[in-house]
Amino acid sequence: MKGFIIAMCIYFNVNLVILALRIENARHKMYKILITGHTGFVGKHLCEEALKQNYQVMGLSRTGSEIQGIVNLPRDLAQVENFDFLNNYELGGIIHLAANSNVNDCEENPGKSEILNVKASLALAVYAKKKNITFIFASSDQVFDGEKGNYAPEDEAKPLNQYGMQKLKAEGEILRINPEAVICRLPLMIGAEGGYEKALMENLKAGKEQTLFTDEVRSIAKVEDVAKGS
């Protein structure tokens, strides 16, 4: 399977991801996948959808998931130097969601955020390539500057912030290391159980002053739709 980039400015079609995994798994007779960042907003819903599709799900995050049926592997990816501890799990695919997506923190601490957003991502891509495991990397629509809108995969990326720069850097290095990797550029995630609007509501209820943008337009996707690929 040749590597490609998916510009998901509206939806992250998990059916395409599942198809990519099944193509590879058909060769290896495996249906076990690793999801990094599995306790996060997207990760939680993706785990539930993968379990519904009869995948064996391994989750790699700093904390464990309470979803029944997931094998938790508690690790801080920013501190993992190699992934040989995964050798015993016979993985058919890796979906790499884990990232520091806090734009302000990436601006204030670019060196620290790059360890997770770039260095750890590359190390995992190297491992997947070495073990012939399908590798899917969750990037961001923030690799674009927003001047055009309705972006296609072949459009030139011009990130305006450190987070977008780090994602773009990781994309390029991942495809150089692992040409068969799949890159998914995700939009802003929303949903009743979490995400940006949950934090906003909690802060407003607590009486905390909020600083909101007035000059930003974003593509959005409901996380439940994203996980279902609808």
Residues with Cβ within 8 Å of residue 32, at least 6 apart in sequence: 55, 56, 57, 58, 89, 90, 91, 92
Q: Which domains does the chain have, with CATH numbers?
A: 4-228 (3.40.50.720)
% pLDDT > 90, the chain: 24
User: Would you give the DSSP letter of residue 76?
Assistant: -
Q: What is the pLDDT of residue 4?
A: 45
Please state the three-class secondary structure of 141-174 as a single string. HHHCCCCCCCCCCCCCCCCCCHHHHHHHHHHHHH
pLDDT tens-digit map of 54-92:
888 888 888 877 788 888 888 888 888 788 889 888 888
Across 11-15, 54-58, 172-176, 184-188, the highest mean pLDDT is recorded for 172-176
Q: What is the pLDDT of residue 161?
A: 92
Mean pLDDT of the chain: 80
Q: What is the pTM of this model?
A: 0.82
